[in-house]
Amino acid sequence: MEERVSHEWSPLVNAADEWLVSFSLPFMRLHGVRVFALGRALELYLKAAHARMAGSLESGAGFGPDLPAIWFGCRDLDPSFLSAYDLRREVLSHDLLTPSDVAQLGKDDLVHFLQNQELYLLLRYHAEHVASGVLRTDPGASFPTGGFIPGPAWSALFGALRGVLGHPTAGEADVLAENLAQSKLPAFSVTFLRGIVGRPGRAET
């Protein structure tokens, strides 16, 4: 059963890794493209993790692009899932682009949000980005126009997700490793992708 499910979720990880290669490239001012690629990669990795833990590829189908639902669905199946991140449902229940709403967070939740701001924003607004096709630009409540740069924090997260999945297994394709070996990627991309392939990340699994 586990072997069959592994074979089924592998295409999700392969597609996610293609999005990660895309995310790693210097997009210049194409901020929305970069954030979308990152969100898609995380969505597919989380769905693969959920499928592995639930023993069924169909288990994540009903989540759509709702990243908090998939994340906490994984935590419900395994309370130790990415436990080092300890994301908080209360934070994600707020409109994190509206300062007056963020101000309603308790002190501990506010500190945790500020320490993990990009991850919280990606989780909270990925589904909205997928649905509308654009990042929110409401006056006073716009999605940040900077940040979300390929770096160690994102490498650690995706490295941890690969650890949860045990990816790649012996003889299994590894899109990231193949691109590193065969593609003429910019040095910036190589550093980021090697950070994913070469370490398990900070999360406890």
Residues in Cβ contact with 40 at an 8 Å cutoff, skipping those fewer than 6 apart:
16, 19
pTM listed for this prediction: 0.91
pLDDT in tens, the chain (205 residues): 444 455 578 889 999 999 999 999 987 678 899 999 999 999 999 999 999 998 887 777 789 999 999 999 999 999 999 999 989 999 999 999 999 999 999 999 999 999 999 999 999 999 999 999 999 888 888 888 888 999 999 999 999 999 999 988 877 889 999 999 987 899 999 999 999 998 544 433 3
Burial profile 32-58: b = 16 or more Cβ within 10 angstroms, e = fewer: eebbbbbbbbbbbbbbbbbbbbbebbe
